[in-house]
């Protein structure tokens, strides 16, 4: 038996007690012999950070509120002999790996669900909440921002270089009208050709579409250009550009559009850079392909030409598809090419030879 002081955890009062330490554990009794506490041997813990002046501080379990203070020099030896878990700490990983693994796994699963399911769904909802006028204005700013970035990279100034000739514009407008006849688009289309030596095309928010001049130069037939344009129209129809920006840039972009800050530089730069370097999901690409095939079939244009264009770019390597190329933002696959060819019913030309030459010469004017 050892003399000690007992704090019951309910009051600050110290009780003078007699303590028994044996194989059964620690028993605490008051002066009248009344049992105040009985702690099993394997539940007795030394309280870390205490013990100044030689006193031994004990508690039951890792979080017990009651404390026992023993001043007897022999008490530590008795505790060491009978209490195997005396130095066990609640913070040790090996004591709690199962709950940590359980809750950590649950947190990772929740995060994965949010990123893969929740965020895309919320991005779609957010895109539909943006007023059409705000989306159109922002899309125009994003198009100019992309043009400025390309101009700085190629010519050292920030003036977007749009290709424009009367005959080329008329040819492009006639092709666009054929591909959008009867379409239910969220905004009127604005299709422009940007004078950039890269094989690429972008659908932007608000019905804006950019065709890079090198894409037209690399195309062997007008049906290949029509296929790419129809695919971008599919992205416009599903509002994929705005959804993609919301998935990547999140709430800040949405708030900027909803409050009318469509000219804010942060929102414009964020949107343009994201659209330049991020690819659509496979589902979004397949859905845009489906729209493209339907539009091309209705117009009587061969949809298989688009598949051939992608395959030729893939086989051509770096020269045919430079950095920021169509293959990086619209990665093709053999499955998609086969599906395009299988669904194609149109066999007619996309435009007259005169229109095709006028379109190819747009950047010469």
Closest by alpha carbon to 140, among 191, 213, 182? 191
Closest by CA to 200, choosing from 231, 166, 175, is: 231
Contacts of 180 (CB under 8 A, 6+ apart): 189, 233, 295
Is 277 exposed, middle or buried, given 0-12, 13-18 or 19+ CB atoms closer than 10 A? exposed
β-pairing, 35-40 vs 201-204, is unpaired
Phi, then psi, of 333 in degrees rounded to 5: -150, 155
How many angstroms from the chain centroid is the CA of residue 74?
62
Catalytic residues: 232
Sign of the CA dihedral running 275, 232, 355, 308: positive
Cα 263 vs. chain centroid, distance in angstroms? 24
Positive or negative, the CA dihedral 77, 79, 83, 88 is negative
Is 288 in contact with 235 (CB distance < 8 Å)? yes
Contact yes or no for 315/365 (Cβ under 8 A): no
Concatenated DSSP letters of 198-256: S--EEEEGGGEEEEEHHHHHH-SSHHHHHHHHHHHHHHHHTTHHHHHHHHHHTHHHHHH
Token reading at 311: 């395959």
Q: What is the DSSP letter of 47?
A: P
Strands 67-70, 2-7: pairing is antiparallel
- Is there a contact between 19 and 28 (Cβ–Cβ < 8 Å)? yes
Put the strands of the sheet holding 201-204 in their side by side order.
162-163, 190-194, 208-212, 201-204
**Angstrom distance (rounded) from CA 203 to CA 275:** 9
């Amino acid at each position: 038996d050892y003399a000690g002081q007992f704090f019951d955890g309910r009051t600050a009062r110290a009780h003078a007690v007699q303590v028994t330490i044996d194989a059964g554990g620690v028993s605490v009794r008051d002066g009248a012999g009344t049992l105040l506490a009985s702690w099993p041997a394997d539940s007795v813990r030394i309280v870390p950070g205490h013990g100044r002046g030689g006193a031994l501080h004990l508690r039951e379990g890792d979080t017990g509120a009651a404390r026992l203070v023993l001043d007897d020099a022999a008490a530590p030896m008795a505790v060491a002999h009978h209490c195997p878990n005396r130095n066990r700490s609640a913070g040790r990983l090996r004591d709690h790996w199962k709950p940590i693994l359980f809750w950590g796994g649950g947190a990772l699963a929740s995060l994965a669900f949010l990123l893969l399911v929740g965020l895309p769904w919320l991005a779609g909802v957010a895109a539909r909440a943006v007023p059409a006028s705000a989306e159109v204005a922002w899309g125009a700013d994003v198009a100019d921002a992309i043009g400025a970035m390309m101009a700085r990279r190629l010519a050292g100034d920030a003036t977007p270089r749009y290709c424009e000739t009367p005959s080329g514009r008329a040819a492009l407008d006639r092709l666009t009208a054929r591909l959008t006849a009867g379409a239910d688009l969220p905004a009127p289309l604005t299709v422009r050709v940007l004078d950039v030596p890269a094989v690429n095309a972008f659908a932007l928010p608000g019905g804006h579409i950019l065709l890079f001049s090198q894409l037209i130069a690399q195309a062997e037939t007008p049906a290949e250009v029509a296929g790419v344009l129809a695919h971008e129209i599919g992205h416009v129809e599903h509002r994929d550009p705005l959804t993609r920006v919301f998935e990547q840039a999140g709430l800040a972009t949405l708030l900027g559009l909803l409050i009318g800050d469509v000219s804010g530089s942060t929102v414009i730069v964020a949107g343009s850079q994201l659209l330049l370097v991020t690819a659509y999901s496979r589902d979004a690409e397949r859905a845009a392909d489906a729209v493209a095939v339907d539009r091309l079939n209705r117009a009587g244009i061969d949809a298989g030409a688009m598949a051939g264009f992608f395959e030729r770019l893939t086989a051509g390597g770096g020269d045919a598809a430079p950095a920021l190329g169509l293959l990086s933002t619209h990665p093709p696959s053999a499955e998609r090419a086969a599906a395009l060819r299988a669904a194609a019913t149109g066999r007619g030309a996309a435009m007259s030879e005169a229109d095709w030459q006028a379109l190819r010469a747009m950047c010469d004017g």
